[in-house]
Amino acid sequence: MNLVTRIGSRQSQLALIQTHWVRDELQKHYPEQAFPIVTMTTQGDKILDVALAKIGDKGLFTKELEQALLRHEVDLAVHSLKDLPTRMPEGLVLGAITQREEPRDALVLHPRWQGTLLAELPPGAVIGTSSLRRLAQLRHRFPHLTFKDIRGNLNTRLQKLDRGDYDGLILAVAGLHRLGWADRISEVLDPDISLYAVGQGALGVQCRAGDERVLALLQVVHHRETALRCWAERAFLRQLEGGCQVPIGVHSQLVGDELTLSGVVLSLDGQQRVFGTQTAKVTTEAEAQALGESLAQTLRAQGAEAILQAIFATVGRS
């Protein structure tokens, strides 16, 4: 009898593209097994008229998939790693982190601005983003621009852009590449403009703790170099108790066994900014996490603690 391993996924086009990639890799390595995909809608998919930061981010795009795992309705779940909270429900683990796509943010412009850089847009140009991380960094760097919240899948967002509701959007390069819209990218934002979200560009595959069969299967999609970077990034975020309600960005680079992690914490209005960088020799998950925690503690001491406390006093802890 063929073994069946059920894969949980959100129903969005991008989520399914990501899940199909994981399924196809598993099928290629284990042709004798079946990998049916079970789709579901998450809270974050249903609430499209409220800014993400106002909803809270405890499993906004993951909770329903996690519950299905715990109920044994699926055997693994594929997430955009940036959506996966750094603290997981008891009984679940991160079984694999896939090779990272380009993690940086991109500027996508209305056709009338084609060929223009973000720094060249005129005062009052309207930029759409649903991310406090992007918003605070761009407010810090480009206070003359106007920023407006935008929700919905990438198709919907691009439609709103093209009909003239916005002059430009800030989106993840990885998502645009996976959906085949790389030609819409006007500019890839360097870290000095926008540090990216923790885990952005990578997929996280979640499964039940102790499920040795599934954990063994997932090793064929696990990418060690990406995992070392993302373990450090996630430890940094976890130590800061951050999420989508706190503007926190990262940039990481692994050269040999030297991992360099940069991080930034900003106030909601972008006026206050604390940035730091640390490098360490990293070969294990524990060493990567130690680097992330060390950088977080350094930034706290340099002023991030006051910024975080002010944000938590305003919006509460997610």
Q: Are 135 and 129 in contact (CB under 8 A)?
A: yes
Report the alpha-carbon distance of residue 211 to residue 75 in Å, rounded: 9
Report the alpha-carbon distance of residue 310 to residue 171 in Å, rounded: 27
> 23: alpha, beta or left, given left = phi > 0 and alpha = psi -120 to 50?
alpha
Report the alpha-carbon distance of residue 225 to residue 257 in Å, rounded: 9
The three-state secondary structure class of 267 is coil
Identify whether 49 is a catalytic site residue: no
Closest residue by Cα to residue 253 from 299, 191, 205: 191
Q: Are 54 and 244 in contact (CB under 8 A)?
A: no
Report the alpha-carbon distance of residue 309 to residue 307 in Å, rounded: 6
The three-state secondary structure class of 171 is strand
Tokens of 59: 């499993």
Residue 48, number of CB atoms within 10 A of its CB: 11
The active-site residue out of 83, 105, 167, 211 is: 83
Helix (H) or strand (E) holding 265: strand 258-266
Report the alpha-carbon distance of residue 200 to residue 101 in Å, rounded: 8
Catalytic residue IDs: 83
